[in-house]
Structure 1
């Protein structure tokens, strides 16, 4: 039986935030941003809410029909293509070279956890490492309810967009936050980028890229 998938709307905001909060509580990057477990339990959802709001406004969120998994996507233009929204970057910023570059990372910290410099730092690191030479789809986050992990829901959500990208000839980019998750993405056709994203005094992330699969490339 296939997995039912639909596009999320504003009415799904609380569901998406809860899914991401639960799914990423023990994620290595979330643990670095919020090192104290109890503080993370009470504050982490604010960061997930900020990410959700950015993607609801600028991208697309897919959810399974049963509400147990979600995926956050952004369409990223090439650096020389302003696109319909002026070339929004993965931190919600404008991705340009003007004097306001990076200010969105500051605003993110101020809205989520003003005294926590790591909120701003992770936003800057991810934005600075993001490829800009080609237009692509960006899988920002994917969250599955802990009780439903390992059932293929995440793979179904990703494949749902990969099929469209293959038809449209679009590559896809993501940052895997654990070695375990890289195995899933490799099975879906992703390969490692040329370098890892090493967080200072923190965990490592694995940027991954997938070229579109054309008819002649399909098995």
Structure 2
């Protein structure tokens, strides 16, 4: 769980502002969020969206690891608790953040939903490394604890990404593509990826 610049640990309340800033900047131009969240005041919408997902979902119903005080963050949902009620409570605010992209967001969800696991899994909700800290092994360091804990508990790990470069990165961590879903005529794709708990313990190089 170490990198050249630190050790992954579970997030605390004091780490939240830095972690939210990392997530907001990392997702400011991410293809999927650009497509499904209103362009007006986009960065602040992303910041609030990530804050809600981090503090109301992952920190309550899952687990979150950070490195370098939150300059790398990985937030997981686990099978142990059901966040459905929390999503219902946030529905109105999430709708406001999505804004004029509501039809695109709904269509994207409908397209991806058939490829999501029906059995219990560890779901990677969000992961980011601050731009100025990329290329230093922090992504692997912050993801490793969740992947390994899921495997120890006997659960697959599952994620979705809309970046082809990310696909290659996750393949090095033992994930395999289970679906390639076209979301829009502009070429936007989302790849569903899964790592079985029986995956070899050695990390791919």
More deviation, 164-173/178-187: 164-173
Instruction: State the match for 2:47 in structure 1.
Output: 45
- 1:66-81 to structure 2, matched below 5 A, reads 66-76=69-79
How far apart are 1:150 and its partner, in Å?
1.6
The structural deviation recorded for 1:175 is 0.3
Higher relative contact order (CA 8 A, sep 6+): 2
Q: Is the CA contact 1:29–1:177 (under 8 Å) kept in the aligned structure 2?
A: yes
Pairing 1:135-214 to 2, within 5 Å after superposition: 135-193=120-178, 195-201=179-185, 203-213=188-198
Query: What do residues 88-145 of structure 1 show as CA deviations (whole Å, max 9, x unaligned)?
Result: 36x954xxxxxxxxx5684353353555415852784487346343221111111100
Give unmatched runs, 5+ long, in structure 2. Answer: none
Say what the alpha-carbon RMSD is for the aligned residues: 2.9
**Partner residue in 2 for 1:59:** 62
Question: TM-score normalized by structure 2?
Answer: 0.80
For structure 1, the 5+ residue unaligned runs are 77-82, 94-102
Contact 2:15–2:70 (CA under 8 A) maintained in structure 1: no
Cα gap change, 1:52/1:125 in structure 2, threshold over 3 Å: closer, same or farther? farther
Q: How many residues align?
A: 197
| 1:66/1:15 CA distance change after superposition, 3 Å | closer
2:21 to 14, 18, 21: 18
Structure with the higher helix share, 1 or 2: 2
Distance 2:48 2:108 in 1: 14
| Greater Cα offset, 170-179 or 44-53 | 44-53
